[in-house]
Structure 1
């Protein structure tokens, strides 16, 4: 599948919000109760996405001029990796992660961390991340994972 990975722009905020919320509702809903999904969704409205763009290196995956995925790098922490359910399983998440890893190497970061959802734990493990610990915030269960980068 022809996919372009590029830096996110303010004009992408609505599309990114739609991708994230779609993935949360369809993919993550298998592992989390509705109240957790609703709480996380509040963090990804278009205005919140615009604010995050100013704090992180945010990227989008574009297929046929449509945003179908997103991922961010917040210093040495991978954040908000989501691919629309329609496009999952096609390597788009791996392409986004490769872009983040390249950006981390340029920034001379030697270890990436990711607060993974239960849904994405196997995805990160396939990329070489290992589990560091579990974190619980009420009913929300996050798996902290790490990957050592070699230049």
Structure 2
């Protein structure tokens, strides 16, 4: 899979919103009730994505100039990693995370944290993240994970 990874621009906000919505509805819906999916979805409108871009390093992966994945780095926290369901398992998310880890090393970060969904826990474990604890927001379970950034 030849995915091009770059920092996102404001022009990507709608495409990022579409990727997130699609992943939430098709992948995360297997692990979370509909009301949780709907609540999380509200945080990823195009306008909300634009606001996030002002505070985080947001990356996108594109295939044939179409955004198919996104992830962001917020200090030492990896956030909002979503891959279009038809591209899940094709290595796009792994490549995106590799870029984020390289950026973290360039920033001198020693540890990365990620608040993982139930759906993505295995993905992060395969990348070397370890579970620290569970957090609950009503019916929404988040697995807090961390990875040491050894050079």
Instruction: Tell me the TM-score normalized by structure 1.
Output: 0.99
Distance 1:125 1:21 in 2: 24
The answer to whether 1:131 aligns with 2:92 is: no
- Structure 2 residue aligned with 1:77: 77
Counterpart of 2:109 in 1: which secondary structure? coil
Distance 1:104 1:65 in 2: 26
Distance 1:109 1:149 in 2: 7
- Equivalent runs, 1:64-143 vs 2, <5 Å: 64-143=64-143
- Structure 2 residue aligned with 1:41: 41
Q: 1:115 Cα shift?
A: 0.2
Distance 1:87 1:96 in 2: 12
User: CA offsets, 1:69-122, max 9 Å, x none?
Assistant: 000000000000000001111000001100100010000000000000000000
Q: Which runs of 5+ in 1 are unaligned?
A: none
**Between Structure 1 and Structure 2, how many residues are aligned?**
151
User: CA offsets, 1:24-54, max 9 Å, x none?
Assistant: 0000000000000000000000000000001
Distance 1:95 1:5 in 2: 8
| RMSD over equivalenced CA pairs, Å | 0.4
- Structure 2 residue aligned with 1:4: 4
Distance 2:124 2:42 in 1: 24
Distance 2:65 2:115 in 1: 29
Q: Which runs of 5+ in 2 are unaligned?
A: none
Distance 2:99 2:39 in 1: 28
